[in-house]
Amino acid sequence: MHKYERAGLQKDDLLYMYRTMLTARKIDERLWLLNRAGKIPFVISCQGHEAMQVGAGMALERGKDYLLPYYRDLAMVVHFGMTIEDIMMSNFAKEQDISSGGRQMPGHYGSKKLGIVTGSSPVTTQVVHAAGYALAGKMEGKDFVCLTSFGEGSSNQGDFHEAANFAGVHRLPVIFFCENNHYAISTPLDRQLSCVNVSDRAKGYGMHGETIDGNDPIAVYAAVKAAVERGRNGEGPSLIEAVSYRLTPHSSDDNESTYREADEVTEAKGRDSITTFAQYLKELGFFTDEDEQAMHDEIQAAIDEATDAAEAAKYASPESALLHVYDQ
Amino acid sequence: MHKYERAGLQKDDLLYMYRTMLTARKIDERLWLLNRAGKIPFVISCQGHEAMQVGAGMALERGKDYLLPYYRDLAMVVHFGMTIEDIMMSNFAKEQDISSGGRQMPGHYGSKKLGIVTGSSPVTTQVVHAAGYALAGKMEGKDFVCLTSFGEGSSNQGDFHEAANFAGVHRLPVIFFCENNHYAISTPLDRQLSCVNVSDRAKGYGMHGETIDGNDPIAVYAAVKAAVERGRNGEGPSLIEAVSYRLTPHSSDDNESTYREADEVTEAKGRDSITTFAQYLKELGFFTDEDEQAMHDEIQAAIDEATDAAEAAKYASPESALLHVYDQ
Amino acid sequence: MMGTMNFLQAINLALKEEMHRDEKVFILGEDVGRRGGVFLATEGLYEEFGDRVLDTPLTESAIAGVGIGAAMYGMRPVAEMQFADFMLPAVNQIVSEAAKIRYRSNNDFHVPMTIRAPYGGGVHGALYHSQSLEAMFNSIPGLKVVIPSSPYDAKGLLKAAIRDEDPVLFFEHKRAYRLLKGDVPEDDYVIPIGKANVVREGDDVTVITYGLCTHFAQQAATALEKEDISTHVLDLRTVYPMDREAIVEAAKKTGKVLLVTDDNKEGSVLSEVAAIIAEECLFDLDSPVQRLAAPDVPAMPYASPLEKYYLVTKDKVESAIRDLAQF
Amino acid sequence: MMGTMNFLQAINLALKEEMHRDEKVFILGEDVGRRGGVFLATEGLYEEFGDRVLDTPLTESAIAGVGIGAAMYGMRPVAEMQFADFMLPAVNQIVSEAAKIRYRSNNDFHVPMTIRAPYGGGVHGALYHSQSLEAMFNSIPGLKVVIPSSPYDAKGLLKAAIRDEDPVLFFEHKRAYRLLKGDVPEDDYVIPIGKANVVREGDDVTVITYGLCTHFAQQAATALEKEDISTHVLDLRTVYPMDREAIVEAAKKTGKVLLVTDDNKEGSVLSEVAAIIAEECLFDLDSPVQRLAAPDVPAMPYASPLEKYYLVTKDKVESAIRDLAQF
Ligand SMILES: Cc1ncc(C[n+]2csc(CCOP(=O)(O)OP(=O)(O)O)c2C)c(N)n1
Ligand SMILES: Cc1ncc(C[n+]2csc(CCOP(=O)(O)OP(=O)(O)O)c2C)c(N)n1
Ligand SMILES: [Mg+2]
Ligand SMILES: [Mg+2]
């Protein structure tokens, strides 16, 4: 039995997985071009995180479960229903941005109808909200789970600790999903974390913890799926750490040359899931070079179209800045 | 070899240990009487914590190491050099209170000359300061250690997490000393903590963790002594959890009848270190009933005297409330 | 139906009525369950509503943040912070999250949450159990800050806060809990948030204040009747955002304005009241605006003589009104 | 010796000089080491001072709290908060601890710590990388809040902050970093904290402001010379505690006062300025006090047209001065 079969996945799932990863990657690459061309002020990337994000997202049930993501989760929210055009509208800060109408920086995802809970910039606050959603669900007798994600640097914030303990005490169905990419801006793991794995912290909250290869979407899917089941069965929260590498600078404002070697990045690119997972699909015979090219072309066309639409779309009116401070 | 010998202690140490525990207990009992007589507005007790506090304190070197205690640490600060009169001055809020000149509630210990760092009421803030002291010591090439204490409820605060991680990353000589007394005001362990032992959290900070019987001052001494040595040797921080029971209501303002059974308290009193350690000393032949009585009488007399002195002492002048906002 | 009750009982009654009225309302905080809260504001509610009265771990940021999450989902959490002083670890959740969620999501999400906290001194609470923290939150659009001054108002305003669609900080003066008694209808009424209230009409001096100081102002006004000084007293009720119109009207009424708070002076919420007056009714004033407040020291000391020196009292209010009347 | 440099270079120079001058000075914060800080304020310092420039984990409460501990021990920490917005998780350490330690210990302990943070908008930072947070800290006795308005001031005030025996919050406008250039002496000078500064003498209208808005006020004043409007500009420099005397003098100078901030209006630090004026120089004014500020919304939006709508600019200051001159 193949590992994808053991995880309960089928050929179509794998192809969907790859398409979603690739869509996110290609959007991300386009955003950098737009930024360098001076068309959008800021980019924050998902590159290197696509496999873990799609793997984790697919373990949830859309329309039922909740996502409380962070700024790198482009691939996760695309899986959860944000369209390429939605993403472009938000990067161009246009009125049609479904997350904020152009009020927030890109990467600050939110959409009530999609089950994606609005997020902010100060890291880790969303992790506490996830416990709140889960508590509400428990009080209302629902069986949804909440997945909240954050970087390894952010796992040091007090809010992570308080939320994890709260969820542990009340056995809430929260999946604490740590996307460990080895850096918090310039700060490497050993100056950020005092433990070997972020998942070493799970025991301190009486919850299941595990660390998995974040470049393997199937492994991530399997681990999160098991966490979802524990959550639905009243067995409480889980801490899942997926390890990969940040393939880009922290953001379009960052200059990484002062704090990491180009070699290190090159080496990590050798494990890039966009390449390795395509290879895996080909080895399985699910995918040919032609399929791959077609998929690229198709996504590219969709991105072109969405970019044009977003560029042409209008901003919210200046005076609209006064709206929605309080209920009207 | 007796366990006290294994711990490197001698008869005199044990007698000192007991005297200090008993002094704290008897001060504490007096404070309740004074409160019930309307002479002091507020009491917060150390009863049930004496053994762990004295055991831990004795593992430090006075004049060199730093203490960042919390409000229950009467026995610890008495060991560290606060006199009975100091304690009474602070409970009567008189000008001679060395911690604050009568500005803070009792239990908010601090004295630069004694190496006891000023503390506040919001729990767990001092835990971060301990990392700051230790960092300064490391920068200055000193080999002192810092012991900071807090309740098990307080170990859930974000500041605990951030301080523990900081100390772990920088391998700072901080001893995180958790005084687990089963309650945070009315909230019992299982509604407070998601882990079995607070020391389960140590691994998440890459530090040594252990849980010990807080009614056994020798065991506590030995565990903290080992932590001190690790600290001085550059092996970083430790998390030591001492478990006992809060023998009084949370404070003089508390009414515990709504949240715990009298039986539970009675049972815990059976393990009270003030009784069991006296018994142990007698079994060792270090102490007779007469010695015990003499010790009681002597301490009582000192407490009487200190109470009278504090009651007779003057308050700071009302206008002095305006002083020391900034450097003058 | 009408009963005489104290401020604390009025709070308790409001909570109970709202929990009956709307099953989405729930309470969370430290020791709010069996213990009924350290001031007993939630006494009896755990017995009546079970798990809808939730003891949390000792973590204020989680209390606020869990409340925010639950509120975004659709519940109406009422969080208790054991003392206002201990809200500070939750400031990031309150200011970055609760206050900004409606705005940042372009009205997609909102946070109908109330955060209750006992504030103020005079009960030997020393530095950290006596603070007035409203001034830290009076520049945060998206938040509302409500401070009731009587049992009647406490009930009506708390009910309004719980039904409000936006986050409300609800500060209760801890000395008021047992000191203030009054008639409180047993039926359902709410008092609008955002509106100040004239608690006494007068012609010589206007006092603008809120919370427990409203009580002192009323006492002082009564005492000054004998001296033929007629005092107009405006209770702000909501200190953020402020009721500009009511402030302007009250200031113009007498032309002599005394502002009173038990917080320290510089940067207190009175500054904004003074600013509104300086913008809107400068030429209607007969004397400079006066502020009566606690001294600018970090917080109230424990020792009685120092605490007393710090506190704003009825006597201090009375003499400040008298001085102004004689200006 | 004198050099022309921008605001950021002046900050960097002040840090470097103080680290040379006193070995107890050290820097801690996120990415302040090899990266030199995300705005490069600490560029080159790690290379020069090694472990005295400390990259911390991503934990603001620990940055503040560790700094406080080290300061009580006897060091002079200079903590960087990456953005003012991200100070909020550290509020408890700043307000409950740093601000109150001298007072609560009856002068036994004190906290000579500086906390630097970039604030303000206009650089597409959106809600959480644009805020002005000084108003949250302008009612906290024990703290000082300093906001420089030029490269010269930035250097002199930062050096004074580092040498101060009490905690100082030091806010640097992030748009000023590269926008403002000026002469900065290469020698040792400090500018006293707590004193405002007349940056321009004038007779018709007084502008009282601080930070980057001082620059806009000066530009506006220059432009208005052509219209024969003479503008007096007072730069507060320290927004807490405020320099009452200088405010009163500046207000009386022209009798027409415009207060300017890029923070939102209600409850901003301008309220206190207005309150001081209402207390002290009511009868010296010829027109109501005016406040020019950002709208009362939670923070600055990202989209350019909305950001622009929100921002206080030279043009807005200019037209507010003109209106007041014509009053
Ligand atoms: C409370 C807070 N402090 C600082 C920042 C600035 N900041 C943004 S991202 C980041 C690093 C985050 O690192 P990590 O959690 O590892 O996530 P990653 O970006 O690597 O995915 C920092 C310091 C912030 N957003 N919030
Ligand atoms: C931040 C904060 N929140 C709430 C309180 C109120 N409070 C004082 S002591 C206490 C319980 C502490 O429990 P624990 O940490 O177990 O220590 P113990 O009193 O049992 O020794 C609480 C909630 C506080 N002092 N600080
Ligand atoms: Mg990272
Ligand atoms: Mg306890």
- CA C288 vs. chain centroid, Å, equals 26
Would you list the DSSP string of C125-169? Answer: --TTSS---GGGGTT-BTBEEE---SHHHHHHHHHHHHH-SS-EE
Question: From the CA of B85, how many Å to the nearest CA of chain A?
Answer: 39
pLDDT above 90 covers a percentage of chain C that reads: 98
Contact across the interface for C73 and A133, Cβ inside 8 Å: yes
Chains in contact with chain A (at least 3 beta-carbon pairs closer than 8 A): B, C, D
pLDDT above 70 covers a percentage of chain D that reads: 100
Mean pLDDT, range B102-122, rounded to an integer: 98
Query: Angle at the Cα of C164 (from C159 to C166), degrees rounded to 5?
Result: 140
pLDDT on residue B194? 95
Residue B1 has pLDDT above 90, yes or no: no
Tell me how far apart the alpha carbons of residues C212 and C149 are, in angstroms, rounded to a whole number: 5
Pick from D62, D65, D103: CB nearest B324: D103
Please indicate, yes or no, whether residues C108 and C161 belong to a single structural domain of this protein. Answer: yes
Residue B146 has pLDDT above 90, yes or no: yes
The tens digit of pLDDT for each residue in C50-102 reads: 999 999 999 999 999 999 999 999 999 999 999 999 999 999 999 999 999 99
The tens digit of pLDDT for each residue in A8-43 reads: 999 999 999 999 999 999 999 999 999 999 999 999
Question: From the CA of C211, how many Å to the nearest CA of chain A?
Answer: 24
Q: How confident is the model at residue C3 (pLDDT cuts 50, 70, 90)?
A: confident
From A125, A154, A252, the mutation candidate for ligand 1 (largest count of ligand atoms within 8 A of CB) is A154
Tell me how far apart the alpha carbons of residues A144 and B256 are, in angstroms, rounded to a whole number: 38
Point out the catalytic residue in the list B133, B221, B246, B280: B246
Residue B324 lies in a domain: no
DSSP class of D53: E
Contact across the interface for A135 and C70, Cβ inside 8 Å: yes
Buried b vs exposed e over A23-56: b needs ≥16 C-beta within 10 Å? Answer: bbbbbbbbbbebbeeeebbbbbbbbbbbbbbbbb
Please indicate, yes or no, whether residues D50 and D98 belong to a single structural domain of this protein. Answer: yes
C209 contacts C173 by C-beta, under 8 angstroms: no
The first and second tokens of residue C209, run together, are 């204040």
- Domain limits for position D226: 197-325
Q: What is the CATH number of the domain that holds A67?
A: 3.40.50.970
pTM above 0.80, yes or no: yes
Would you list the DSSP string of B52-115? Answer: HHHHHHHTS-TTTSEEE--TT-HHHHHHTT--HHHHHHHHTT-TT-TTTTT-SPTT---BTTTT
Contact across the interface for B158 and A156, Cβ inside 8 Å: no
Q: How many domains does chain B have?
A: 1
Mean pLDDT, range B237-265, rounded to an integer: 97
D100 touches chain B (CB under 8 A): yes
Residue D250 lies in a domain: yes
Please indicate, yes or no, whether residues D131 and D201 belong to a single structural domain of this protein. Answer: no
Q: Which atom of ligand 1 is nearest to the CA of A192?
A: 16
A281 contacts A18 by C-beta, under 8 angstroms: yes
Residue written as token pair 């709010």: C32
Greatest pairwise CA separation for chain C in angstroms:
58
CA-nearest residue to A124 within chain B is: B158
Residue C191 lies in a domain: no
**Helix or strand (DSSP H, E) at C325:** helix C314-325
Contacts of A179 in chain D (CB under 8 A): none
In the residue annotation, B259 being an active-site residue is answered as yes
The first and second tokens of residue A105, run together, are 């920086």
Residue B51 lies in a domain: yes
pLDDT on residue B275? 97
Question: From the CA of D288, how many Å to the nearest CA of chain B?
Answer: 34
Residue written as token pair 């009467």: B74
Q: How confident is the model at residue C26 (pLDDT cuts 50, 70, 90)?
A: very high
Q: Is C302 helix (H, G, I), strand (E, B) or coil?
A: coil
A181 contacts A246 by C-beta, under 8 angstroms: yes
Please indicate, yes or no, whether residues D70 and D104 belong to a single structural domain of this protein. Answer: yes
Going across the sheet that includes C25-29, the strands are C53-55, C25-29, C76-80, C114-119, C168-173, C144-146, C238-240
Determine the residue among A152, A155, A165 to mutate to test chain B binding: the one whose Cβ has the most chain B Cβ atoms within 10 Å: A165
**Rounded to the nearest whole angstrom, what is the distance from the C-alpha of residue A107 to the centroid of ligand 2?**
38
**Rounded to the nearest whole angstrom, what is the distance from the C-alpha of residue D128 to the centroid of ligand 1?**
12
- CA D14 vs. chain centroid, Å, equals 15
Q: How many domains does chain D have?
A: 2
Would you list the DSSP string of C66-116? Answer: HHHHHHHHT-EEEEE-SSGGGGGGGHIIIIIIITTHHHHTTTS-----EEE
Residue A145 lies in a domain: yes
Point out the catalytic residue in the list A62, A250, A260, A271: A250
pLDDT on residue C86? 98
Would you list the DSSP string of B151-215? Answer: ETTGGGSHHHHHHHHHHHHTT--EEEEEEE-SEETTEEHHHH-SSSSGGGGGGGGTSEEEEEETT
Q: What is the CATH number of the domain that holds D7?
A: 3.40.50.970
Residue B183 identity (one-letter amino acid) = Y
**Rounded to the nearest whole angstrom, what is the distance from the C-alpha of residue C70 to the centroid of ligand 3?**
28
A158 contacts A195 by C-beta, under 8 angstroms: no
**Helix or strand (DSSP H, E) at B239:** strand B238-243
The first and second tokens of residue A67, run together, are 């996502």
Count CB-CB contacts under 10 A for residue B269.
Answer: 14
Q: Give residues 213 to 252 of B whose Cβ lies within 8 Å of C.
A: none
Contact across the interface for B125 and D97, Cβ inside 8 Å: yes
- CA A228 vs. chain centroid, Å, equals 17
C219 touches chain B (CB under 8 A): no
Residue D218 identity (one-letter amino acid) = Q
Pick from B125, B131, B136: CB nearest D92: B125
Tell me how far apart the alpha carbons of residues B26 and B32 are, in angstroms, rounded to a whole number: 10
Angle B158-169/D60-73 helices, nearest 10 degrees?
70
Residue B170 lies in a domain: yes
How far apart, in Å, do the first and last CA atoms of chain C sit?
46
Residue D229 identity (one-letter amino acid) = I
Contact across the interface for D144 and B122, Cβ inside 8 Å: no
Those residues of chain A that have pLDDT short of 50 are: none
- In this structure, which ligand is nearest to the CA of A156? 1
Greatest pairwise CA separation for chain D in angstroms:
58
Return the half-sphere exposure (C-beta side, CA atoms, 13 A cut-off) of residue A316: 27
Residue D190 lies in a domain: no
The tens digit of pLDDT for each residue in D189-212 reads: 999 999 999 999 999 999 999 999
The tens digit of pLDDT for each residue in C213-266 reads: 999 999 999 999 999 999 999 999 999 999 999 999 999 999 999 999 999 999
Contact across the interface for C89 and D92, Cβ inside 8 Å: yes
Domain boundary among D185, D214, D229: D185
Residue D307 lies in a domain: yes
Please indicate, yes or no, whether residues C95 and C135 belong to a single structural domain of this protein. Answer: yes
Between the alpha carbon of residue B252 and those of residues A293, B37, B103, the distances in Å are 76, 12, 19
pLDDT on residue C327? 86
Domain boundary among D159, D185, D211: D185
Average pLDDT in chain D: 97
The tens digit of pLDDT for each residue in C130-144 reads: 999 999 999 999 999
Please indicate, yes or no, whether residues C55 and C151 belong to a single structural domain of this protein. Answer: yes
Residue C1 has pLDDT above 70, yes or no: no
The first and second tokens of residue A263, run together, are 């070699």
A273 contacts A21 by C-beta, under 8 angstroms: yes
Tell me how far apart the alpha carbons of residues C6 and B311 are, in angstroms, rounded to a whole number: 35
| A179, β-bridge pairs | A151, A242
pLDDT on residue D2? 72
Contact across the interface for C297 and B153, Cβ inside 8 Å: no
The tens digit of pLDDT for each residue in D88-146 reads: 999 999 999 999 999 999 999 999 999 999 999 999 999 999 999 999 999 999 999 99
Please indicate, yes or no, whether residues C242 and C178 belong to a single structural domain of this protein. Answer: no
Going across the sheet that includes D197-200, the strands are D197-200, D231-235, D205-209, D257-264, D290-294
The first and second tokens of residue D184, run together, are 């900065």
Taking alpha carbons only, the member of C271, C276, C221, C218 closest to residue C246 is C276
Q: What is the CATH number of the domain that holds C266?
A: 3.40.50.920
Please indicate, yes or no, whether residues D138 and D95 belong to a single structural domain of this protein. Answer: yes
Per DSSP, which regions of chain D are E strands?
A: 2-6, 25-29, 53-55, 76-80, 114-119, 144-146, 168-173, 181-185, 197-200, 205-209, 231-235, 238-240, 257-264, 290-294
Taking alpha carbons only, the member of D85, D88, D238 closest to residue D164 is D238
Q: Which atom of ligand 1 is nearest to the CA of D31?
A: 23
Residue written as token pair 């209390």: C63
DSSP class of A246: -
Q: How confident is the model at residue C2 (pLDDT cuts 50, 70, 90)?
A: confident
Count CB-CB contacts under 10 A for residue D21.
Answer: 13
Size of interface A-B (CB pairs under 8 A): 83
B47 contacts B248 by C-beta, under 8 angstroms: yes
Tell me how far apart the alpha carbons of residues B234 and B286 are, in angstroms, rounded to a whole number: 37
B149 contacts B178 by C-beta, under 8 angstroms: yes
Residue B290 lies in a domain: yes
pLDDT tens for chain D, residues 1 to 327 = 678 999 999 999 999 999 999 999 999 999 999 999 999 999 999 999 999 999 999 999 999 999 999 999 999 999 999 999 999 999 999 999 999 999 999 999 999 999 999 999 999 999 999 999 999 999 999 999 999 999 999 999 999 999 999 999 999 999 999 999 999 998 999 999 999 999 999 999 999 999 999 999 999 999 999 999 999 999 999 999 999 999 999 999 999 999 999 999 999 999 999 999 999 998 899 999 999 999 999 999 999 999 999 999 999 999 999 999 998
How far apart, in Å, do the first and last CA atoms of chain A sit?
58
Lining residues, ligand 2, CB within 6 Å? B 72, 121-123, 150-154, 179, 181, 183-185, 246, 250; C 30, 58, 60, 82, 86, 89
Contact across the interface for B326 and D165, Cβ inside 8 Å: yes
Contacts of A322 in chain D (CB under 8 A): 295, 297
Tell me how far apart the alpha carbons of residues B203 and D36 are, in angstroms, rounded to a whole number: 32
Residue B321 lies in a domain: no
* Nearest protein Cα to ligand 1, atom 5: A122
pLDDT on residue D1? 61
Q: Can you give the C-alpha Rg of chain D in angstroms?
A: 19
D305 touches chain B (CB under 8 A): no
Tell me how far apart the alpha carbons of residues A193 and D79 are, in angstroms, rounded to a whole number: 20
Domain boundary among D131, D151, D185: D185
The first and second tokens of residue A256, run together, are 């990484």
Would strands C144-146 and C238-240 be described as parallel, antiparallel, or unpaired?
antiparallel
Mean pLDDT, range B312-322, rounded to an integer: 98
The tens digit of pLDDT for each residue in A215-240 reads: 999 999 999 999 999 999 999 999 99
**Torsion angles phi and psi, residue D31, rounded to 5:** 65, 25
- Domain limits for position A194: 3-312
Lining residues, ligand 1, CB within 6 Å? A 72, 121-123, 150-154, 179, 181, 183-185, 246, 250; D 30, 58, 60, 82, 86, 89
- Helix%, strand%, coil% for chain D, nearest 5: 40, 20, 35
D296 touches chain A (CB under 8 A): yes
